Structure 1
Amino acid sequence: MSSLTWLITWGPRPPSIRQIGPWTLIGDIFDRRRPVFPAVDDQDRRAYDFKLLARIWGRFVGVILNPAGAVSAALRDPSGAREAVVWTAHGLTFVASDVPDALIRTVAADWRISVERISAAVRNPLALGAELLLDGPVALLPGEMRDLVTDETTTLWSPAAHIHRPDLIALTPSEAAAHLREAVDEAVDGLASAADVVAAEVSGGLDSSLVAAALHPRRPVRLWLNAFGPGPGADERRFVDRLSEHLDIEVTTFARHASPLTREELEAAPQRLRPSLAALDGAFDHEWAVRCADVGAQAVFTGKGGDGMLVQPATPEVFFDLWRLKGWRALASPDLVQLARLNERSVWTLLRDARRRAQADAAHPSLGLFAPLGAPSAPHPWLRDAAAWGPAKTVQVLSLLQGHGLHGPSRLTAAVDVFHPLLSQPVIEACLGLSTPQLTLGRRDRALARLAFQERLPPEILNRRSKGELTTFFGRMIADGLEDLRPWLLDGRLAALGVIDRAATEAILTRDALIRHGGYPDILVAALFEGWVRAWDQRLQA
């Protein structure tokens, strides 16, 4: 790097650095196999930058250094796998994916926790993908670049530019399946090339099986690992056995125990620039980290994110999207009757609802844990055009926002890199470009993915209709941890700031109320945000 620029790194392995044109890219960078360039005027001063994000993909942050060697622009890759935050202090400009505590004490004197944004984010964690919960640093959205000289932000990539690509929605089912399969292979091959030794999670579900089938036998995998939970819904070993026989791989299994959500566990969760939704099960992270270390694995593959990107389940919203694309011609769809039967509705009910429905309801359901908002929060920038996409496609973009939380820090990411290929740019663009009726073949969840990998996976997994369920697992974590969880929330910072309703929370945090109402996601999110606020209170006060 230039004499005026320093690069500080930490983590399980050092990042690569690649120079492409004016950009210095830091992280994992791969060339696209079949780039599709955006329609941009070559006279546009950002034309090169727009085309750059069509030529490459990966998990990276980019900077431009001016002739004097100072940073003049910053860029975040479209997948959102790497955070990119910018701020200035003491005449210095910082571009970071994380900030160590020692640096915070020096450069974050004017940072403040935003109670207003916390109040909005606990209700809808998907909003975490936009602004930080801190006043001071500026976060880039995935696919954004920021000119640090003019303070101008340019959106180089967004989901809206890839939804319903004309060339993709014209594909036949077999052609669309081939396109999706190539995208998954490209994502898996690229990420596998970034680490010398890799492990892979095999849950027994379709998504992790797709990733496993793309890895094996084309890429060596040192460890295949399955964690099974208590109860039949969380124990998928019979499907894992069929996959291991079909692919001829050896899978190591271990029991996933529901450890109580104790104060020690809550305080140990890493709390960095954002509350990390990936840090909710520290015991699982620890088990994975130890097993990866035992075999020398530098990275682990998962199938997370596949539900949303590949579209699961096939709900009536699929027909609503078809109606938006074709109007009355949607009635000629050969799958309309089966989709109606699957959802226990008549064809005419689907038609009526499609004509009435404008967009998906993205509201986050609540048990009443959270205090009323003074004003409704603004929608995520990626959802401003949602009314034009149809509800099922909107839900798909919401799932992409949710997927950003999976890239967050955890005790596992501190030990190894965690790769989510189904949330990488090649797969994201393929799934956004295809219509939801194509992805479900009009009648079944992830039907196109099943067709794409029908020659690589056993029938038991291709035809599986059930899905692994960990609700009971997390419910037990909460119930067994109530002794610590109640004072953690009732006497915590969120209650003091008025973010949560203390009386409602006290009524909910009992075993009887948990049995009657559930509401585990709200409780887990509140507990996680409480830890984040406490950690940042201490950092900023120091």
Structure 2
Amino acid sequence: MGDFLLCSRPARAALGERLSLAVRAEVERLGFTVRVLSPLAWLIVWGPRPPDLRKVGPWTLIGDVFDRRSPVFPAIEDQAPHAWDRKLLARIWGRYVGVLLAPSGEAAAVLRDPSGAREAVIWNTHGLTFIASDVPDGLVKTVADDWRISTSRLAAAVRNPLVLGAALPLDGPVALLPGEMRDLATDETHALWHPSDHVHRPDLITLRPPEAAARLRAAIEEAVNGLASAAGAVGGEISGGLDSSIVAAALHPRHEVRLWLNATGPGPGADESRFVDALEQRLAITATRFERRRSPLGLAALEAAPQRLRPSLAALDGDFDQTWADHCSAAGVQALFTGKGGDGLLIQPASPAVFTDLWRLRGWRALWSRDLVRLARLNERSVWTLVSAARSWRGPADPAPGELSLFTPFDGAAPRHPWLNEAAAWGPAKTVQVLSLLQGHGLHGASRLTAAVDVFHPLLSQPVIETCLGLSTPQLTLGRRDRALARLAFQDRLPPEIIHRRSKGELTAFFGRMIADGLDDLRPWLLDGRLAALGVIDRKGAEAALTRDALIRCGDYPDILLAALFEGWVRAWDKRLER
């Protein structure tokens, strides 16, 4: 996915004009082509599939924009503040950032689309206003000379990456949440779209399973068809799992797919070839297969990870991404479809928390639901255990630290993402669904793959997000198994092996070996690195965790991978911000 940077100057400031011209001259010297939006604003774009511009009403939308098939408008009066803008977000969807230009030509407001696929960051420097999804390396010292790394936000994000979506670990720029609009004149931010507006939507939670399945399938097909229309040569990931198979079934045969890619993991737990075989036969397609190489998480891999405005959770396995990028480039693929994000939004697993959600919706009437017995049997619990847990649940708990913690204790209360402020009213399974949506925002980050091709995650697009939020978790699981509604929705397009599959590919051992084989580089990278110098990493705890014995005993792989990723991000931004 390509990026953009927009520069706007005030209408009545001679110095602003000179500064804007100076920045523009530096931009052109670096090889960028400037597009003039008005006498006071100009724009540059870059990367794979640089974003297009589309005018919708007073807004200039930067990126991919599609009309909704069946929009559901918010119940607000036309005279209410920002009513037109809120209805706009119901009428269109895509991967875009909107900029509102004042009559004079300067930028007056910015909005970010509800999917969060494209970053939207705003800052002021020397009288100029910048709006961007990223900043090219060569321009950082020109347009962001007063930025600093925020140690407090960095420390919070490395312990709980989900808060990373709420604020940048940088002092200086302001990042919008998905669905937010910022008035640049007043510096006020307004939430035009919020998950709570769509949770348990009245028109969806009353649907019977066949009707709900049809609505879910229509949303997925709308997302796939829209995104496929935006790119030329398309490729698709097929892992053998349900989510990528659903996306493949929605793509084929309506859209021409130049390359189907399948990566086989080492070991029997990661080998999903028989499910890929079944999908190939059912859809009459042929996949290009390759085996995931086991390469150590060494210094070369750590330094090669691309770094942008936020640490990118999509860059955790660089060698794997590079292999995907090479295959796509060889086939001339411009955009690759994945099934990422489906696990959480479609509800996996069908845990006892699903009954707690039902209890929040129905109260004592939930005792007469067939879902109670089904979920108890599925999870090997008693009915009364599920009822007791449902009655006692009061809200989401903060994540607990692992047995061996790499990080120093957090000073003060751990921050919580603002999207979770109303989670106590939803129930635990619906809360996990929203948490998975926050985690999905990280999948849009930079990687070696995104540097080569555009990567589409249709299951994380607005039509699918709103449908899955609107349906209850008992509907999505049919009260008896994970992602049951999605299985019902695509049962006529997928082979029985995938529809009825209960296992899941397992790569935990793979990542454990990748870390263990790279310990000679990883230990000094973390123990003598910037996070340790800033006090974010507990050096004594890290020394204990970064051994083969500790990896075998505790398996704290996610913390180690996150620490390595964040360490690379801090080192990269230290260099960019050097004076």
TM-score when scaled to structure 1?
A: 0.99
Distance 2:81 2:476 in 1: 37
Amino acid at match of 1:154: H
CA apart distance, 1:111: 1.0
Q: Report if aligned partners of 1:360, 1:392 keep a CA contact under 8 Å in 2.
A: no
Q: Distance in 2 between matches of 1:360 and 1:466?
A: 28
2:559 maps to a residue whose letter is D
Amino acid at match of 1:59: R
Q: For residue 141 of structure 1, what is the aligned residue in structure 2?
A: 177
Aligned with 1:507: secondary structure?
Answer: helix
Cα distance in 1 between the residues matched to 2:295 and 2:70:
46
- 1:83 corresponds to which of 119, 136, 139: 119
Deviation at 1:361, TM superposition (A): 2.6
- In structure 1, what is the equivalent of residue 507 of structure 2? 470
In 2: Cα distance, 1:376 partner to 1:122 partner: 15
Which letter does structure 2 place at the counterpart of 1:436? T
Task: Give the structure 2 partner of residue 497 of structure 1.
Answer: 534
Which structure ranks higher in relative contact order (CA pairs < 8 Å, sequence separation ≥ 6)? 1
**In structure 1, distance between residues paired with 2:306 and 2:450:** 10
Contact 2:156 2:415 in 1 (8 A): no
1:343-362 → structure 2 map (5 Å cutoff): 343-362=379-398
Q: Are the aligned partners of 1:310 and 1:431 in contact in 2 as well (CA < 8 Å)?
A: yes
- Partner of residue 563, structure 2: 526
Corresponding residue for 1:254?
290
Q: Which amino acid aligns with 1:392?
A: A
CA-CA distance at 1:359 after TM superposition:
2.2
Per the TM alignment, residue 266 of structure 1 is displaced from its structure 2 partner at its CA by 0.7
Note the alpha carbon deviations across 1:292-314, whole angstroms, 9 max, x for none: 11111100000000000000000
- Provide the secondary structure at the position in 1 that maps to 2:274: helix
- Corresponding residue for 1:115? 151
1:520, distance to aligned residue in structure 2 (A): 0.3
Does 2:493 correspond to 1:456?
Answer: yes
Quote the Cα distance in structure 1 between the aligned partners of 2:372 and 2:80: 45
Taking the TM superposition and a 5 Å limit, the aligned residue runs for 1:16-27 are: 16-27=52-63
Do the aligned partners of 1:270 and 1:279 also contact (CA within 8 Å) in 2?
Answer: yes
Quote how far apart the aligned CAs of 1:364 are.
5.0
1:151 corresponds in structure 2 to: 187
Aligned-partner Cα distance in 2 for 1:365–1:431: 30
Q: Corresponding residue for 2:13? A: none
Q: What letter corresponds to residue 101 of structure 1 in structure 2?
A: D
Kindly provide the CA deviation profile for residues 472-526 of structure 1, in whole angstroms up to 9, marking residues without a partner as x: 1111110000000000000001111110110110111111110111010000000
Q: Deviations over 1:1-28 (max 9, x none)?
A: 2132111111112211100011000100
2:552 to 515, 519, 532: 515
- Which residue is 1:265 aligned to? 301
Matched residues in 2 for 1:2 and 1:476: separation? Answer: 54
1:339 is matched by which residue type in structure 2? Answer: L
Q: Is the 8 A contact 1:71 1:148 kept in 2?
A: yes
Amino acid across the alignment from 1:415: A
Aligned to 2:84: 48
* Partner of residue 18, structure 2: none
RMSD: 0.9
Aligned mates of 1:451, 1:252 — CA distance in 2 = 28
Partner SS for 1:74: strand
Match of 1:164 in 2: 200
- The answer for the alignment partner of 2:453 in structure 1 is 416
Aligned residues: 542
Partner of 1:481: 518
- Percent same amino acid at aligned positions? 74
After superposition, what is the alpha-carbon deviation per residue over 1:434-483, rounded to whole angstroms, capped at 9, x for unaligned? Answer: 00000000110000000000101000000000001111111111000000
Gaps of 5+ in 2: 1-36
SS at match of 2:43: coil
Displacement, 1:115?
Answer: 0.7
What are the superposed Cα offsets for residues 411-445 of structure 1, whole Å, 9 maximum, x if unpaired?
11111100000000000000000000000001100
1:378 shift after superposition = 2.3
* Inter-partner Cα distance in structure 2 for 1:14 and 1:328: 54
Residue in structure 2 matched with residue 220 of structure 1 by the alignment: 256
Segments of 5+ residues of structure 1 without an aligned counterpart are: none
Distance 1:456 1:365 in 2: 42
> Once superposed, which parts of structure 1, at least 4 consecutive aligned residues long, lie more than 4 Å away?
none
Tell me the SS of whatever aligns to 1:6: strand
Q: TM-score, normalised by structure 2?
A: 0.93
Distance in 1 between the 2:120 and 2:70 partners? Answer: 27
Q: Is the 8 A contact 2:163 2:415 kept in 1?
A: no
Say if 2:140 is the partner of 1:104.
yes
Equivalent residue, structure 2, for 1:195: 231
| Distance of 1:377 and 1:72 partners within structure 2 | 34
